[in-house]
Amino acid sequence: MWSGKGRTAIVGIGYSEITRRPQKPLGLLAVDACRAAIADAGLEPSYIDGLATYPEMPFAGAGNRDGEDVVSVMYIVNHLALAPDIRWYAQIETGMIASPIIEAVHALIAGACDYVLVWRALHRPTRRPSGGGTAGPRAAGEAQFTAPWGCNTIIQWHALAWQRYMHRFGATREALAALALNSRCNANRNPRAFFYKEPMSREDYFNSRWIAEPLCLYDCDVPVDGCVALILTGAERARNLRHPPAYVAGYGQNTAPRRTLLHYALDDYMECGGSLARKLWNSAGLGPHEMNAAQLYDGFNPSTLYWLEAAGFCREGEGGSFVQDGRIALEGELPVNTFGGSLSEGRMHGMGHIAEAVRQVTGRAEERQIQGAEAVCAIDGSPMLRGSGIIVTRAP
Amino acid sequence: MSRQLAFTPVSGRGTVYSFTVMHQRDVAGFEEDAPFINIVVELEEQQRLLMVSNLPSAERERVRVGAPGEVCFENRGDGVVIPQFKLVRA
């Protein structure tokens, strides 16, 4: 078990507006979220002496202008009156959404700073310059093996993997429908969710248009502008703040080598996802069956199913039946994406998953509260590609 | 796995490992082609030796995972020739 278990905690959550029609640039939405998180913790901006973010643009080829397309550490330093001396910061390139939190935990345990602000700001570009920036007559690098055939967007790769999954395990779109409907149902109890007031029926799901067959519109997250921010501190300080702390019990990041770089070969998902999950469970000394809920990334819907298997909630190939019969509902055996996921809350790229894990173990999950939630995991990324995850607990 | 890497001729035959039909006009240079089919072909020489290809839209009802395919070459003009795969009878 990891010696850092329970020594740090998430103590504040802040959301900006999540919208498809932003009235302000992304940088100012990020400032809104950061201010909200600091206030939620019961702190003042001047307490914040550590900063971490994963600022990557939403897809290859998107813009990279600070404050409009991305929000960097220096942007926040320039726009919030934080501690006079920022003692520590990190801007993560590898990994994913939990990765800056993992680094923040390390910094706090090392004594590098006292209060860390972590945020992730996501911009929805109005025009997708698509194809990994390979528009034009030439393609280089990995794209030379996909772009000449027009097969170089992430959703096409997910569609290929899901087609293969259905073939291999005899699964059907019913599995994805169950996940999408579960998320929408939960979002209808989450006032921050983009689809808070819009229910979805089974017919709505099956009648929605194809994006990349066999994936339809409702298998994709909602592209939005918005930001989610969190505050972390050491366990001692955490006990004296406004809300109960969500202790960081363990973490894992995906480090397995991929067997093909060309697209998401389905064959990698158990190994790659497993490399994250093993570290996650071992560090916390907890297993999948001790989780009171699982917040599993759903940038594209099949990822949640793959994570259920790769993280050991069910066996390989059994995800399709696992998600049926209410098992993943709020009152089910393993509630999944209790806040609506990225599919229905909006594309906060995994930060919504972490925020909800915190809410559940601190009794702050409103109408979605799972009674007696002691431990909840949040895992982001696609198990075929990369990812990071944490477990938060009610007790240290 | 050998560390001795070398170019080796292959037969150009394989089977469909997976496929997708792209409906969103989201792929640079292919906006007017949507919906269009992509297949991934696993060459018969080696497991997970995969190549991406297109299929004509008319093949939508025929394409399935495991269907046999064979290479052909498409002239895109300006001296650009790319390998494509077509479905063949088993």
Q: Average pLDDT of B41-64?
A: 95
Partner B contacted by A264 (CB < 8 A): no
Nearest chain A residue to B49 by CA: give it: A260
DSSP H stretches of helix in chain A: 26-40, 73-79, 98-109, 154-169, 173-187, 202-207, 235-238, 269-284, 302-310, 319-322, 341-344, 351-361
| Torsion (CA) A251, A102, A385, A375 in degrees, nearest 10 | 30
User: At A150, is the pLDDT very low, low, confident or very high (cuts 50, 70, 90)?
Assistant: very high
- pLDDT score recorded for residue A235: 98
Chain A to chain B Cβ contacts (< 8 Å): 101
Which tokens in the block code for residue B13?
A: 């035959």
Give B68's strand partners.
B15
- Is residue B4 included in any domain, yes or no? no
- pLDDT score recorded for residue A242: 98
Total tally of structural domains belonging to chain B: 1
Residue in A135, A156, A214 nearest the CB of B29: A135
- Is residue B2 included in any domain, yes or no? no
CB contacts, 8 Å: B81 with chain A: none
Inspect the interface and report whether the beta carbons of A156 and B51 lie closer than 8 Å. Answer: no
Partner B contacted by A355 (CB < 8 A): no
Structural domains in chain A?
A: 8-125+222-393 (3.40.47.10)
Inspect the interface and report whether the beta carbons of A156 and B22 lie closer than 8 Å. Answer: yes
For all residues of chain A together, what is the average pLDDT?
A: 93
Q: Average pLDDT of A197-211?
A: 98
- Is residue B8 included in any domain, yes or no? no
B8 SS3 class? coil
Q: Average pLDDT of A77-84?
A: 96
Residue A129 has pLDDT above 80, yes or no: no
Residue A265 has pLDDT above 50, yes or no: yes
CB contacts, 8 Å: B38 with chain A: 149-151, 156, 160
Cα–Cα distance measured from residue A281 to residue B55, given in angstroms and rounded to the nearest whole number = 44
Q: How far is A172 from chain B (nearest CA, A)?
A: 14
Contact A122, A59 (CB under 8 A): no
- pLDDT score recorded for residue A347: 93
Q: Average pLDDT of A231-254?
A: 97
Residue B75 has pLDDT above 50, yes or no: yes
Q: Average pLDDT of A58-70?
A: 80
Q: Where in the sequence is the domain holding B64, given as residue range(s)?
A: 13-87
Which tokens in the block code for residue A370?
A: 């799972």
**Chain CA centroid to CA A391, Å:** 13
Cα–Cα distance measured from residue A319 to residue A325, given in angstroms and rounded to the nearest whole number = 12
Residue A72 has pLDDT above 90, yes or no: yes
Cα–Cα distance measured from residue A79 to residue A37, given in angstroms and rounded to the nearest whole number = 15
DSSP letter at A288 equals G
**Chain CA centroid to CA A4, Å:** 22
For all residues of chain B together, what is the average pLDDT?
A: 93
Other residues' Cβ atoms within 10 Å of the Cβ of residue B88:
10
- Is residue B5 included in any domain, yes or no? no
- pLDDT score recorded for residue A132: 47
- Is residue B1 included in any domain, yes or no? no
User: At A133, is the pLDDT very low, low, confident or very high (cuts 50, 70, 90)?
Assistant: very low
CA distances from B35 to A157, B54, B60, B62 (A): 16, 11, 10, 16
Residue A176 has pLDDT above 80, yes or no: yes
Residue A317 has pLDDT above 80, yes or no: yes
Closest by alpha carbon to A280, among A311, A255, A252? A252
- pLDDT score recorded for residue A127: 60
Higher pLDDT: A262 or B81? It is B81
Nearest chain A residue to B31 by CA: give it: A150
Q: Average pLDDT of A357-379?
A: 98
Q: How far is A57 from chain B (nearest CA, A)?
A: 17
Q: How far is B50 from chain A (nearest CA, A)?
A: 8
Task: Please identify which residue in the block is written with the tokens 């502008």.
Answer: A225
Partner B contacted by A150 (CB < 8 A): yes
Residue in A129, A134, A211 nearest the CB of B24: A211
Inspect the interface and report whether the beta carbons of B18 and A148 lie closer than 8 Å. Answer: no
Contact A119, A53 (CB under 8 A): yes
- Is residue B3 included in any domain, yes or no? no
Higher pLDDT: A384 or A53? It is A53
- pLDDT score recorded for residue A131: 46
- Is residue B47 included in any domain, yes or no? yes
A380: part of which helix (H) or strand (E)?
strand A375-382
The CATH number that applies at residue B41 is 2.40.50
Residue A158 has pLDDT above 80, yes or no: yes
φ, ψ (nearest 5 deg) of residue A285 = 65, 30
- Is residue B7 included in any domain, yes or no? no
Inspect the interface and report whether the beta carbons of B38 and A161 lie closer than 8 Å. Answer: no
